[in-house]
Amino acid sequence: MTPMSNVSVTKDAAPAAEDLVVLKNVDKHFGALHVLQDINLTIGRGEVVVVIGPSGSGKSTLCRTINRLETIDSGTITIDGKPLPAEGKELARLRADVGMVFQSFNLFAHKTVLENVMLGQIKVRGVDKKAAEEKARSLLDRVGVATQADKYPAQLSGGQQQRVAIARALAMDPKVMLFDEPTSALDPEMINEVLEVMQQLAQNGMTMVVVTHEMGFARSAANRVVFMADGRIVEEATPDQFFSNPRSDRAKDFLSKILHH
């Protein structure tokens, strides 16, 4: 990118409007394990970034530092121009703006599907019950589980539970959504119903960070693929570049393994 190009000119003019999530020199240890090593990553508004890499490379940890479910040792993380606050009210407010979808769904087991999607709106956003229910029902409809509203999570299939979890996160009107392997706990026939919902979100301009090994999704929905290995970002490229022409040996090695089974 040359300083003369249009892209960098607009970036210089309004950097805050472009960059939604910025990680700078982020380091984290789990005891002796250096799980995140000097991570620099910028996610633009409306961008969909897929994070890929071998097991134990730090993908989940990276995802979880963005809403501070994991603290970092050094470096900075800013969201929409504001640095991540420490514990307390400020942090809770920020987390409400960052939606998170977990591998194991984590729907509240003692609450109905509808209550799961209403809870955050009422308790965090202070929305009144009626409005919260209306919004919850329309979100459940959007992810295709409207008929399950009064059931408990355990009565739903994995794919349905994960779609409810997405609706629960969307109910907070998040600025960015984090997905940590949202389909890897699912039976194969349910993966697509979840990916389709995510696909739609991406098309509607949601900013997304998605840890996944679903290459189909990466190719069709992602603006960028970030490849991690041993706590480092080894490669960043467009999905096409990355899957057909990876530069690093680690990425080549990794891709040959996931492509051959």
Partner 1 sequence: MFDFLESGQYDVLGAFWVTVQLTFYSAIGSLIWGTVLAAMRVSPVPLMRTFGTVYVHVVRNTPLTVIVMAASLGLFQTLGITLTGSDDFEVIGFRLAVLSLIAYHATFVCEALRSGINTVPVGQAEAARALGLNFSQVLSLIVLPQAFRAVVTPLANVLIALTKNTTVAAAIGVAEAALLMKEMIETESDAIFLVSAMFAFGFVVLTLPTGMLLGWVSKRVAVKR
Ligand X SMILES: Nc1ncnc2c1ncn2[C@@H]1O[C@H](COP(=O)(O)OP(=O)(O)OP(=O)(O)O)[C@@H](O)[C@H]1O
By a kind-dependent CB cut-off of 5 to 8 A, residue 89 interacts, out of Mg ion, ligand X, partner 1, none, with partner 1
With binding defined as CB under 6 A, does residue 32 bind ligand X?
no
With binding defined as CB under 5 A, does residue 61 bind Mg ion?
no
Longest distance between any two alpha carbons in the chain, whole Å:
58
Rounded CA separation 76/84 (Å): 8
Q: How far apart are the first and last CA of the chain?
A: 38
- Using CB under 8 A, pick the residue from 6, 110, 126, 260 that binds partner 1: 110
* CB closer to partner 1, 11 vs 125: 125
- Using CB under 8 A, pick the residue from 95, 135, 163, 250 that binds partner 1: 95
- Using CB under 6 A, pick the residue from 16, 33, 131, 258 that binds ligand X: 33
- Using CB under 8 A, pick the residue from 22, 49, 50, 120 that binds partner 1: 120
* CB closer to ligand X, 69 vs 124: 69
- Using CB under 5 A, pick the residue from 60, 67, 112, 160 that binds Mg ion: 60
Compute CA distances 261 → 254, 256, 257, whole Å. 12, 9, 7
Residue number with the shortest CB distance to ligand X? 60
- Tell me the two tokens of residue 124: 């965090």
Beta bridge partners of 83: 78
Rounded CA separation 171/181 (Å): 20
- Using CB under 6 A, pick the residue from 58, 120, 159, 182 that binds ligand X: 58
Q: How many C-beta atoms lie closer than 10 Å to residue 179's C-beta?
A: 27
Provide CB contacts within 8 A for 56, sequence distance 6+: none
CB 246 within 8 A of CB 236: no
**Which range binds Mg ion by CB under 5 A, 60-68, 77-85, 92-100, 123-131?**
60-68
The 3-state DSSP class for residue 64 equals helix
Applying CB under 8 A, which residues contact partner 1? Answer: 67, 69, 87, 89, 92-100, 102, 104, 106-110, 119-120, 123-124, 152, 154-155, 165, 168-169, 172
